[in-house]
Structure formats: structure tokens, C-alpha cells
Amino acid sequence: MLKSLILASASPRRQELLNQIGLKFITDPSDIDEDMPATADFGNLVAELALRKALAVSGKYENGIIIGADTIVVLDNEIFGKPADRSCARKMLSRLSGCWHSVFTGVALVDAATSHSINQFEESQVKFKNLTESEIQNYIDSGEPMDKAGAYGIQGKGALFVEKICGDYYNIVGLPLFRLNNMLKSFGINLL
Ligand SMILES: Cc1cn([C@H]2C[C@H](O)[C@@H](COP(=O)(O)OP(=O)(O)OP(=O)(O)O)O2)c(=O)[nH]c1=O
């Protein structure tokens, strides 16, 4: 029997990415407290947060596979989550200007019937062009930065800031599809 899939995320980007690969799923966002412990182990941090999101939702279901994810941007060992306000977005974008930074996304799968879980992370690197004051201002005025880690979306107008990337593009958008596919395979779900 095909197991049902539940995406424990409110992120529209993650929903679009699952649609892109033809997954049938329902969405049931978790509302966990995303407080981050002080750590430089960014990969394990996002993997842990992804698992917390999936576990928070799995208790509601008798069966099915729950998918959780968490994305952060890291520059000089500092975590950039979603900006709290416009001034925070401005600070993040000014810091990212002209620099390479990392994007970490953690992914977790939980089998609701057995509580069996796996969680992993993916890291990609992104190089921003030098941003002008007016580019930062206009970008903030577009409203795009506010619900995104690091205050930008590579899949939107944020693409205009991205000179180069190294790694999985989809990981930057919020879900590393190559890794997710391998994780789903290990749970007996084959997409192709
Ligand atoms: C860097 C980057 C992040 N993002 C988004 C992906 C995530 O939605 C968001 C990071 O916040 P998250 O806390 O990972 O996710 P979320 O709050 O949107 O959803 P949920 O907790 O319910 O799963 O930043 C982009 O859309 N594009 C980008 O280029």
C-alpha cells in the first residue's frame, strides 16, 4: 500500500518543490518553537529542527510519512534566519553583499506508525554580487525578503543578487530534492 505523505511545513516553496517532483501529499504545518541553541554545528542544528517539526506533527497521525525541513543562512559562523523586520533584513543583505555564504537545510522523515525517523542536512554555497543601497532598498520594498532565511529568495528577484552557487539549488530554496529522494527510497518510496 502506498503510504500517505504529510508535509509538516507552511513554506509555499516546499509545497511547490514537492509538486514539481510529482509527490501527492497533504500539508500540516508544525508550530514548534524554533529557538536555536548556540552552536557552530549548523548541519546538525537544522537536521534537529527538521526532526522536531516532523515529530510535532507525527503524533496526530496513525500512519503515513511526515516530512519536516528547516533552512538557515550562515555567514562568518553567524546564523541568519528569517528577518524580524525591515531593518533586520537590511542588515542581513548588507552583510551578504559581495560575499560567499552557506545555506543549510535539514530534512527529516518520520514514519507515524512505527516512529522510525531519519534526519539529514545539505549545505550549498552562494556568492552575492556587491549590492548597492538602492538595490537593497528596492528589494526590501518588494516584500520578498520577509519570510525567507537570510532575507532573500533565490527563486524570486533575489536571483538578481546571485553571482554563483556551489551545490544543490533546491537546497537553497528550502528542500534538497536529490537528498530527499534518497531518504524517501530508504523508506520504501520510489518516485521514478
Ligand atoms: C535562502 C532562501 C530561503 N528561502 C525560504 C525557505 C523557507 O521557507 C524559509 C526558511 O524558514 P524555515 O523556518 O526553514 O521554514 P518556514 O518557516 O518557511 O516554514 P516551516 O517552518 O513551516 O517549515 O526561507 C527561500 O524561499 N529562498 C531562499 O533562497
Cα–Cα distance between 6 and 15 in angstroms, integer? Answer: 11
In the chain, helix, strand, coil percent, each to 5?
40, 25, 35
What is the model's pLDDT at position 2?
65
Q: Say whether 178 sits in a helix, a strand or coil.
A: helix
ipTM > 0.95, yes or no: yes
Domains in the chain, please, with CATH? 5-186 (3.90.950.10)
How many angstroms does the Cα of residue 165 sit away from the middle of ligand 1? 18
Torsional sign, CA 176, 179, 183, 188: positive
71 ligand 1 Cβ < 6 A: yes
Q: Is the CB of 104 under 6 A from ligand 1?
A: no
Write the burial class of residue 127 (CB in 10 Å: 0-12 exposed, 13-18 middle, 19+ buried). middle
- Residue linked to cell 534526519: 119
Cell of 17: 518543490
**Buried b / exposed e along 10-24 (16+ C-beta atoms within 10 A):** ebebbbebbeeeebe
pLDDT by residue for the chain (192 residues), tens only, comes to 567 999 999 999 999 999 999 999 999 999 887 777 778 899 999 999 999 999 999 999 999 999 999 999 999 999 999 999 999 999 999 999 999 999 999 999 999 999 999 999 999 999 999 999 999 999 999 999 999 999 999 999 999 999 999 999 999 999 999 999 999 999 999 999
Atom of ligand 1 nearest to the CA of 14: 8
Q: Is 79 in the pocket of ligand 1 (CB under 6 A)?
A: no
Nearest to 186 by CA among 123, 109, 121, 122: 109
